[in-house]
């Protein structure tokens, strides 16, 4: 009886393992088919039609300053609420 149970369990586990492997290979194959073409780069590694490195840095700097301004405004609102409670 024990041998029959073991045999059935091996069959079930083998089928489950093979299905998982097949699903993984299918997913990997579909990722390769749906890839977008990589943009062309100039001699310096920049995209000719994309933003320059200086523009990217300026955008990051502006974003960082906006976050700092938002944090200051949030802190000012907390102080105003505390003062209002007194």
Q: What per-residue confidence (pLDDT) applies to 18? A: 95
Check residue 54 and give its pLDDT.
83
Measured from the Cβ of residue 38, the count of other Cβ atoms closer than 10 Å reads 6
Q: Domain coordinates of the chain in residue numbers?
A: 1-35, 53-86
**CB distance 82 to 76 below 8 Å:** no
The predicted-structure confidence for 16-71, as pLDDT tens digits, reads as follows: 999 999 999 988 888 867 777 766 777 777 667 767 778 888 888 888 888 888 88
pLDDT at 50: 66
- Which pLDDT value is given to residue 39? 67
Contact (CB, 8 A) for 47 and 41: yes
| Main-chain dihedrals φ then ψ at residue 16, nearest 5 degrees | -65, -45
């Amino acid at each position: 009886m024990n041998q029959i149970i073991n045999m059935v369990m091996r069959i079930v586990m083998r089928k489950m393992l093979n299905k998982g492997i097949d699903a993984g290979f299918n997913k990997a194959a579909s990722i390769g088919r749906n890839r977008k073409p990589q943009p062309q780069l100039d001699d310096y590694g920049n995209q000719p039609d994309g933003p320059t490195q200086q523009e990217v840095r300026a955008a990051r700097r502006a974003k960082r300053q906006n976050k700092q301004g938002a944090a200051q405004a949030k802190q000012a609102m907390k102080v105003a609420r505390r003062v209002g409670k007194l």
